[in-house]
Amino acid sequence: MKIHNISTENSILNSFIAEMRDVNIQKDSMRFRRNIERIGEILGYEMSKTLSYSTSEITTPLGACNMNLIDNNIVLCSILRAGVPLHNGLLNYFDKAENAFISAYRHHKHNPESFEIIVEYLACPSLEGKTLILADPMLATGQSMIATYEALKPFGTAKEVHLVSLIGAPEGVELVNKHFDANAHLWIATIDKKLDKNSYIVPGLGDAGDLAFGQKLQQ
């Protein structure tokens, strides 16, 4: 897997991540969602540099010019809930993408330290020969990303796979790196230090789904 950690280079991206982490600023849920969306736009732009292009002639009011335009048939799949604003950010740039949605959540059976990933809702077009983007802001253990990818397999074989995430833990990055093949890409805004005993990313930002949409009751 090719890992692109975008924050290794200084840019405006750092301001958006800082606002999402900040205990005071992150309480503004509209700003929190908008920051996820803005980072989705930046990661989408970075990713676009690796897609396939062909030349088209464009007619302007004053003449014609050749432009290299994206050829890929993109399917954008995000993981509910926290994936929704990231989905919007990516879709702001990939106008023609088809869309898939999947629900994956941590189900705590016995205690906060153990959980299984439950996949329930899934709506997906054919993936055959297409470019699959899997979007989820948090890559903690990596289990949601892998459960999602496995659940999508009956929909066809994508020609390329791009994972898009905001904050990762080394454990999650390592797991997806092992699971996906060498041609897959991970576009990630930043990789943090570690997971805590509840598999939350440290320093991370807390619970992305709750910050974006309000606290949910544990099921």
Ligand X SMILES: O=P(O)(O)OC[C@H]1O[C@H](OP(=O)(O)OP(=O)(O)O)[C@H](O)[C@@H]1O
Ligand Y SMILES: O=c1cc[nH]c(=O)[nH]1
Which positions lie near ligand X, rule CB under 6 A?
79, 81-82, 104-106, 117, 136-144, 172, 199, 207-209
Q: Which of 3, 135, 138, 146 is nearest to 74 (CA)?
A: 135
CB nearer ligand Y, residue 156 or residue 206: 206
Please identify which residue in 22, 150, 174, 207 interacts with Mg ion, judged by CB under 5 A.
Answer: 207
| Least spacing, CB of residue 111 vs ligand X, in Å | 16
Instruction: Tell me which residue has tokens 């570690």.
Output: 194
Q: Look at residue 79 and give the partner it binds from Mg ion, ligand X, ligand Y, none, a contact being a CB closer than 5 to 8 Å depending on partner kind.
A: ligand X
Contact residues: ligand Y, CB under 6 A: 82, 138, 140, 200-201, 204, 207-209
Residue nearest to Mg ion (CB): 209
Q: How far apart are CA 143 and CA 13, in angstroms?
A: 26
Q: Are 20 and 30 in contact (CB under 8 A)?
A: no
| Least spacing, CB of residue 65 vs Mg ion, in Å | 47
Which of these ranges, 15-23, 58-66, 86-94, 202-210, lies near Mg ion under the rule CB under 5 A?
Answer: 202-210
Could you tell me the CA-to-CA distances from 59 to 56, 62, 63, 69, 84 in Å, in that order?
10, 8, 6, 14, 36
Tokens of 129: 């020969």
